[in-house]
Amino acid sequence: MADNTIRENLGNLSENARISQEAFQDIGSTIREIKKTTGDTSDLFRNLTREISRGYKDSEKLAEAVERVKNGTASTKTLQRQAGDQIARANTLADKADQLQQKAANSTGILKVNLLKAAMAAGDAAREAEILAKGFADAAAFNEKLNEKTQFFDKLGKITSIIPGLGKLSGTFKEASAAIRQAALNGESLIESLRQGFIVIIKAVAIEFVRQLFVVNDEITKLQRNLNTSRFEAIGIK
């Protein structure tokens, strides 16, 4: 696992998110069935159902967050906050499991069986929330690692975007950052990743240089025609 590229590790996070989503879906079905069988409409079951539903939705959010980490639009702070939210949910679900066990201890027969089953399901949901917490925390760590590699070009992109006349360069630096990020995702070294970024910039500069040659040549031709002079003299004037 330690030798995996960041892309592979992020792929594992996406798979874990999918598995957690399926788990929350199954747990939710179990709790709803027990609630229906027992006829329990207490806050305990209602709150438990809500937390499980949120866990299901947050599993999908983790998969979406992984894609944002890949394309450079994720926020490390947001991912860290989401990790904290999952820890809080895990604690809440564990508390619900304890309450159900206590309720089962004071019950008998089929009701006791159902309450113990619900307690086990709540415990499983708590463990899935812990998995999600680790997933969001890992995604935050990978995002920060990638951001460190692209921060130089990211800053240049922001600076040039607000300087009159340099707006075109802003897009080039963004493309360079994207190239660096993709190289880093694939496990390339820092030097190789930066090389990919500079390749983008060099190509952009070369294209702009050639474009300017055509612009200048066109202007010289117009001067030559308008002033009825030789090309050499037109070049001098230009």
pLDDT tens digits, residue range 132-144? 999 999 999 999 8
| pLDDT reported for residue 2 | 40
Q: How far apart, in whole angstroms, are the C-alpha atoms of residue 169 and residue 175?
A: 10
The pLDDT tens digits for 112-126 are 999 999 999 999 999
pTM: 0.71
- Bigger pLDDT: 212 vs 46: 46
The answer to whether residue 199 scores a pLDDT higher than 80 is no
- Would the pLDDT of 227 be above 90? no
At 69 the pLDDT is 92
In sequence order, the 6+-apart residues with CB closer than 8 A to the CB of 135 are 13, 16, 17, 20, 62, 83
Tell me which range, 12-21, 145-154, 190-199, 208-217, is most confidently predicted by mean pLDDT: 12-21
Q: Say if residues 96 and 51 touch (Cβ distance below 8 Å).
A: yes
Mean pLDDT of 193-199: 55
Length of the chain: 238
Q: Which pair of tokens denotes residue 31? A: 């709790």
Backbone CA torsion sign across 8, 11, 15, 16: positive
Asked whether residue 214 carries a pLDDT value surpassing 50, the answer given is no
